[in-house]
Amino acid sequence: MIKTDVVIVGAGPCGLFQVFELGLLGIHAHVIEALPYAGGQCIQLYPDKPIYDIPAIPEISARGLVENLLAQIKPFAPEFHFEQRVVRIQASPDGRFILETDGGALFDAGAVVIASGAGAIRPIQLRVDGIERFEHEQLFYGVTDETRHQGKRLVVLGGGDSALDWVLRLQPDAESVVLIHRSDRFRAQPYAVQQMHDLCEAQKMQFLAGRVVDYMLVEDKLRGVKVMSQDGVIRQLELDHLLVFFGLSPDNGTLESWGIETERKQAKVDTECFMTSCPGIYSVGDSNWYPGKKKLILSGFHEAALAAFAIKARLNPDEKVHLQYTTTSPALHKRLGVSPDLSDLW
């Protein structure tokens, strides 16, 4: 069993910033995330779309924001547990919590922060019998390392923003790219669809309307897929990597099973401290609800700050919590591993 100060459920932007706010107060956290990487839904859905409403950052992509947050929390050495979903949270008589994941991991935490957005999200799977055994090697439901796909024959499935964004991003460095969607009508942004068609006209990639019905093996390796096109003809496509972007399947139903009072499938919270109806369990970001709630990243950052101070008071009830500033506090500088020049302040 892993014993820690706090367990954060969800590694999206709000969960990552929660690590930072807790770290400033000397609180260590473990982070449990259902996806195989940090970033949550914004990385899965719109990694390269610009975000314009982060304070002091005129424009940044979701990927850039997550990379910055990961760099910001590095001094606090959070421990991540990817591809795991919390299935049980149980309060202990001593006020701590036992958490269990579907991977069998057990945690003993002084407090819990739910930052899971719309819930534990998992990619919608390609339904072809037996193909799941190639996942992480040749079958991918997301892109964590673009270089892995360089020089490869790529077949990409999907018709939404994620599929089109990754087609356009990976095409220049791939040996070949074929996009497969069930029809010639897309859910993606029109400009991305047009760019894809332009590449097809320039013979730099291909598009095929149809669906994958089977796959082909060579020496026990995935070497191609069979696609039934709209005319009923089955075509064979050779590949090195198969990338599937069918969307995400969210599940926030576990909140009620944990005994947390909900409103609109989100955890109801006290806005003074962002604690749920279960003392010691907090919720920040899109996973919570309160009157006037706005589902914005910057709102979640504010919630994470207040939750951190409340958690500090809970974990150390006899210790007075002083508000310190990162510009002037030697204690915070030490935790951050920085040595700023403060001579101008004196």
- DSSP single-letter state for residue 259: T
Residue predicted with more confidence, 5 or 256: 5
- What is the predicted pLDDT for the residue at 253? 57
Q: Concatenated DSSP letters for 148-199?
A: GGTT-EEEEE--SHHHHHHHHHHGGGSSEEEEEESSS--SS-HHHHHHHHHH
Provide the 3-class DSSP secondary structure of residue 296: coil
What is the Cα–Cα distance from 223 to 139, expressed in whole angstroms?
Answer: 11
Provide the 3-class DSSP secondary structure of residue 273: coil
Provide the 3-class DSSP secondary structure of residue 226: strand
pLDDT above 60 (res 343): no
Provide the 3-class DSSP secondary structure of residue 289: strand
- What is the predicted pLDDT for the residue at 43? 82
pLDDT digits (tens, 9 = 90+) for 116-173: 987 767 788 999 999 999 999 999 998 878 899 999 999 999 999 889 999 999 999 9
pLDDT digits (tens, 9 = 90+) for 199-246: 999 999 999 999 999 999 999 999 999 999 988 899 999 999 999 999
Share of the chain residues as helix, strand and coil, in percent rounded to the nearest 5? 30, 30, 40
Residue predicted with more confidence, 35 or 295: 295
- What is the predicted pLDDT for the residue at 142? 85
Q: Name the percent of the chain lying above pLDDT 70.
A: 96
What integer is the mean pLDDT of 78-83? 96
Taking the CB of residue 257, how many other CB atoms lie within 10 A of it? Answer: 10
**pLDDT averaged over every residue in the chain:** 93
What integer is the mean pLDDT of 285-290? 96
What is the Cα–Cα distance from 74 to 173, expressed in whole angstroms?
Answer: 31
What is the Cα–Cα distance from 254 to 259, expressed in whole angstroms?
Answer: 9
**If pLDDT is split at 50, 70 and 90, which confidence band does 44 have?**
confident
- Report CA-CA distances (Å) from 32 to 40, 241, 273, 307: 11, 28, 22, 18
- What is the predicted pLDDT for the residue at 264? 86
- What is the predicted pLDDT for the residue at 238? 97
pTM: 0.78
Binding annotation: 14, 33, 41, 46, 86, 121, 286, 327
Q: Name the percent of the chain lying above pLDDT 90.
A: 81
What integer is the mean pLDDT of 28-46? 88
**If pLDDT is split at 50, 70 and 90, which confidence band does 306 have?**
very high
Residue predicted with more confidence, 102 or 255: 102
What integer is the mean pLDDT of 246-255? 74
- What is the predicted pLDDT for the residue at 251? 64
Residue 101 and residue 86 in contact, taking contact as beta carbons nearer than 8 Å: yes
- Looking up tokens 């149980």 gives 90
β 206-218/266-268 pair status: unpaired
Q: Which residues contact 208 (CB under 8 A, 6 or more apart)?
A: 178, 179, 180, 227, 229, 235, 237
Binding annotation for FAD: 14, 33, 41, 46, 86, 121, 286, 327
